Chain A
């Protein structure tokens, strides 16, 4: 499924952020050795617990589109860091760096989210959690 999708697997270790996942072991759900870069448009924002989530449509080289589920920190963590649920809107085009889910689903944990104009939202490490 992932092989044809427009994603760039970069070398392990580039993402050196310290992931602190809220209520589960980060390593049990995501693979730090499977970093991923996803480019797509936001289709949904879930400002929910235990994690805020955004969903983005990602097209592969053939134009086939998959909807990816991206995990962020909890809304409380993001709020305390100064972000709000309105900082990312549906149809925003984003580039997301993160780690792939071990389950093989179209799911990743975001380390950074960058808007088309270069502005970064939800901080340097959106996955840091409280």
Chain B
């Protein structure tokens, strides 16, 4: 089943609906670098990264992951309308907090940058290029980390995500990260999300109801 072709909506558009897991960096964003790509921090942001402590990780503090980081919890893609050309697509996250991304598919442009209030998930517009969903996002705050290692970004972050359902069970995400304040040059990463069992649903997950972890997390940001 997982290797069968991706399904399509009645109008022929690829159908991305379903419960997915993964599809972005968790521990180390560099693990997704495609061959030939490099992440080179500017001196200012190299210093920011070097000073980060693991207990400060927004994710450990039950805050949103931002983009392109993904929490290791299932998430669901929903589009409206469900039968054809979408006006909106939503990524519904079970964790790291219950939250969602809203992608405008109705042809609008980004507002002028100076009119955008910086937000955790930014302002996202999307369109189809053949069978690939392209999502262009700006307007981020600089409060999220890319991974457990504390790889940083600035409010100049601009992401271009390209999602392709390469088979029934796999959603490929190739994202270009552009952030001239934090990185000397853009870089592109690739991750895969996996379709979760059909009888799974999103479940309630209120991260901060009993978060005892932060007071016991020690030392600098780390993976191992």
Task: Mark A residues whose CB is within 8 Å of B.
Answer: 20, 22-25, 27-29, 46, 48-51, 53, 69, 71, 74, 76, 79-80, 101-103, 105, 107, 129-130
Contacts and interface: CB of A to CB of B under 8 A. Distances in A.
Interface stretch (B43-51, B56-64, B123-131, B165-173): B56-64
Contact of A49 (B205, B214, B224): B205
A106 B164 CA distance: 47
B212 A23 contact: no
B21 A130 contact: yes
Interface centre among B62, B73, B206 (most CB of A within 10 A): B73
B186 interface: no
Interface of B: 21, 27, 54-55, 57, 59-60, 62, 71-74, 94-96, 148, 200, 203-219, 221-224
A22 B223 CA distance: 13
A108 B183 CA distance: 38
A40 to B, nearest CB: 19
Contacts of A25: 27, 54, 57, 60, 148, 217, 221-223
B65 to A, nearest CB: 9
A74 B71 CA distance: 13
Contact of B216 (A27, A49, A105, A129): A105
Nearest to A128: B72
Given A23-B59, A23-B62, A80-B200, A50 B219 contact: no
Contacts of A29: 54, 213, 216-218
B205 A74 contact: yes
A107 B203 contact: no
B59 A28 contact: no
A23 B218 contact: no
Contacts of A46: 210
A24 B59 contact: yes
Contacts of A22: 71-73, 95-96
A113 B115 CA distance: 54
B210 A28 contact: no
Interface centre among A22, A69, A105 (most CB of B within 10 A): A22
B72 A24 contact: no
Contact of A23 (B27, B95, B216): B95
Nearest to A46: B210
Nearest to A47: B210
B212 A76 contact: no
A59 B49 CA distance: 43
Contacts of B94: 76
B72 A129 contact: yes
A103 B215 contact: yes
Contacts of B208: 49-50
Given A23-B96, A28-B54, A28-B222, A49 B209 contact: yes
B213 A24 contact: yes
A44 to B, nearest CB: 12
Nearest to A107: B216
A46 B144 CA distance: 29
Interface centre among A27, A49, A102 (most CB of B within 10 A): A49
Contacts of B205: 49-50, 74, 76
Given A23-B62, A50-B62, A130-B74, A28 B219 contact: yes
A22 B96 CA distance: 8
